A and B are shown apart, each in its own frame.
Chain A
Amino acid sequence: MKNLCLEKIFEAVYKKISEDLFKFLYYKYGPHDELDDVVQESFVKLWRNCQKVQPEKARGFLFKVAKNIMLNKFKHEKVVLNYQNNMLKNIEHETPEYLLEEAQFYQKYQQALSKLTDEQRVAFLLNKVEGKKHKEIAEMLNVTQKVVEYRIYTAFKIIKGEIKEFK
């Protein structure tokens, strides 16, 4: 019988879900120092309830618990995601005008991402950055695949609109 109280099963569930949960929390709530801890805390709670939770229900349980922890711990503020400025490496080969334009572009992009709803941002970034399939995202968020596709599409449109305005 499969049981989360067995360490092997629990470990498998952790390795399968922990990263997804972390990414989900990051894209939904933005960078917080405590996100790792929220993930761990959710799993601690899962371990304590290993008798009651079926392994196939673990994902839903973890996401719900993590969202509750976030709700209780943090005020939901505007999400500003950080971006990597690895352009700086090639700084000598680029013109100052180009670099300035790039910096402005990413700032604008950052603002655009902040303007998305949580749902749009999560779906868009999980798909385009993390390479998650629509089906996987649908499972993670407990919505249909069509909803995921629509969220990605609207997210893209909003970002594009913001960028175009800047151009």
Chain B
Amino acid sequence: MDQEKLLQKWLNDQLTETEKQAFEQLPDHNLNMKIIEAAKRFKAPDFPIDSKFKLLQYRLRNTHNKVRPMYFAWMYRVAAILVLALIAYFYIASNNVQIFTGNNDQKRVLLPDASLVILNQSSSLEYNSILWYFKRRIKMDGDAYFKVQKGSRFDVHTRHGVVSVIGTQFEVKSYMQLFEVKCFEGVVSVQTSQKNIILTHGEAVVARKDQIKKILMTQKQPQWLTNEIKYKSTPLAVVLHALKKHYGVKIVTKSVDTTKYYTGSLITDNLNLALEVITKAFGLKYYIDQTQKTVIISGQ
């Protein structure tokens, strides 16, 4: 076996016993051994696996920690937004305004933009005084007259549909079986589940039992607003008090039982007529002292 072959086998640790002896007889055997021996002086530094692994764990945890605060910041942000949303929601909800009128009761409601609603008896309306600035939206049931300030769209939501206007005067009646919209000024859009009708001043729609009709009208204001106030089983004293206030007169009663209940109307544009209607109901007599601005009502 030649030297090179022996050398190769030696480097591969594949020498047999006899080959080993032959290899050891080679002239530069000492040099060969020294080269291998000397190589060990060039050994790489130690790599302490366990402590290095601990360092790596620490490093990985630290990079986790770098992520975590951001994750928490993100959580805090979401939480803050939720809290703000909740506060805003409750704040807005707390500014929900509901107004009801009882029997023989009317209310004037001034909306945040100075639009006026006059609510007839046994009606209700609901709006939000905060959201109002974003969207003029009102829910109503019953009978109401609207005097809307010019501005953005003004929506009246009823069980029958939506009545929309820009700036106008109109009346909406929305009861179980009845839906009526009267436009006194400007343009009104009436949107029901079936139809979309545009009304201009002097026009009205009346819907009864799924039939919607557009009609013309002559009145300038709702009748109930000007002509009469309706009473139902109201003590006469209350009615007379309203009459006194409305016409600015003094009232003197002589042998009249003012605790009796009155059902009927108080006409508001004619004192004579108003007194006539009321006194007739109880069989009373009345006298108007024009100079004193006094009304004398007496029993039989």
List residues of chain A with CB under 8 Å of any chain B CB.
11, 14-15, 18-19, 22-23, 26-27, 31, 36, 39-40, 43-44, 47, 81-86, 105-106, 109-110, 113, 124-125, 128-130, 134, 149, 152-153, 156, 159-160, 163-164
In the bound complex, do residue A44 and residue B39 qualify as a contact, i.e. CB atoms below 8 Å apart?
no
The answer to whether residues A129 and B47 also contact, given A14-B56, A156-B35, A160-B32 and a CB cut-off of 8 A, is no
A140 to chain B, nearest CB (A): 14
Residues in A with CB closer than 8 Å to B12 are 134, 149, 152
Q: Give the residues in chain B near A86, CB-CB below 8 Å.
A: 41
Contact between A156 and B11, CB atoms less than 8 A apart: yes
Interface of A is mostly: helix
Contact across chains for B44 and A153 when beta carbons are under 8 A apart = no
**B31 contacts A by Cβ under 8 Å:** yes
Interface flag for B176 (CB, 8 Å): no
**Chain B residue, CB-CB nearest to A27:** B44
For residue B59, CB closer than 8 A to chain A, the reply is yes
Q: Does B53 contact A (CB under 8 A)?
A: yes
Known: A43-B56, A113-B42, A163-B35. A36 touches B47 (CB 8 A): yes
**B49 interface neighbour in A14, A84, A109, Cβ under 8 Å:** A14
Contact of A128 among B36, B45, B55 (CB under 8 A): B36
Q: Are B38 and A40 in contact (CB under 8 A)?
A: no
CB of A44 to closest CB in B, whole Å: 7
CB of B47 within 8 A of CB of A160, answer no
CB distance B47 to A149 under 8 Å? no
Q: Tell me if B40 and A129 are in contact (CB < 8 A).
A: yes
Choose from A44, A149, A164 the contact partner of B11 (Cβ within 8 Å): A149
List chain B residues, Cβ under 8 A from A109: 35, 38-39, 41-42
The answer to whether B43 touches A129, judged by C-beta atoms less than 8 angstroms apart, is yes
User: What sequence of 0s and 1s flags, for each residue 51-72 of chain B, a beta carbon within 8 Å of any chain A beta carbon?
Assistant: 0110110011001000000000
The 11 sampled A-B contact pairs (Cβ below 8 Å) are A18-B52, A19-B49, A39-B52, A40-B59, A82-B42, A83-B41, A109-B38, A110-B42, A128-B40, A152-B11, A152-B12
With a cutoff of 8 Å between Cβ atoms, the chain B residues found around residue A22 in the complex are: 44, 47
Q: Place the interface of chain B in its size category.
A: 20 to 34
| 12 more A-B residue pairs beyond the given contacts A14-B49, A163-B31, with a C-beta to C-beta distance below 8 A | A19-B47, A36-B47, A44-B63, A83-B41, A84-B41, A106-B41, A113-B42, A134-B12, A153-B7, A153-B8, A160-B31, A164-B31
CB neighbours (8 Å) of A130 from chain B are 43-44
Which of B's residues lie within 8 Å of A, judged by CB? 7-8, 11-12, 28, 31-32, 35-36, 38-45, 47, 49-50, 52-53, 55-56, 59-60, 63
Nearest CB in chain A to that of B50: its residue: A15
Complex contact B45–A26 (CB within 8 A): yes
Complexed CA–CA distance, A125 and B36 (Å): 9
Q: Check B56–A128 contact: CB distance below 8 A.
A: no
Closest to A112 in B: B35
Contacts of B45 in A (CB 8 A): 26, 31
Is B11 in contact with A18, judged by CB distance below 8 angstroms?
Answer: no
User: Ordered nearest first, which 4 A-B pairs have the shortest CB separation?
Assistant: A26-B44, A22-B47, A83-B41, A19-B47
B35–A160 CB distance below 8 A: yes
- Within the assembled complex, what's the spacing in Å between the Cα atoms of A85 and B60? 38
Alpha-carbon gap, A156 to B35, bound state (A): 8
Nearest A residue to B41 via CB reads: A83
**Complex CA distance for A52 and B35, rounded to whole angstroms:** 44
- Residues of chain A with a CB closer than 8 A to B28's CB: 160, 164
Q: Which residues of B contact A83 (CB under 8 A)?
A: 41-42
Give Cα A6 to B50, complex, Å. 18
Q: Within the assembled complex, what's the spacing in Å between the Cα atoms of A160 and B32?
A: 8
Residue from B8, B31, B39, B52 having most chain A Cβ neighbours under 10 A? B39
Contact, CB under 8 Å: B31 / A40: no
Q: Give the docked Cα–Cα distance between A161 and B68 (Å).
A: 59
Q: Are B8 and A149 in contact (CB under 8 A)?
A: yes
B39 touches which of A31, A36, A39, A129 (Cβ 8 Å):
A129
A44–B60 CB distance below 8 A: yes
Q: Are B31 and A124 in touch, CB under 8 angstroms?
A: no
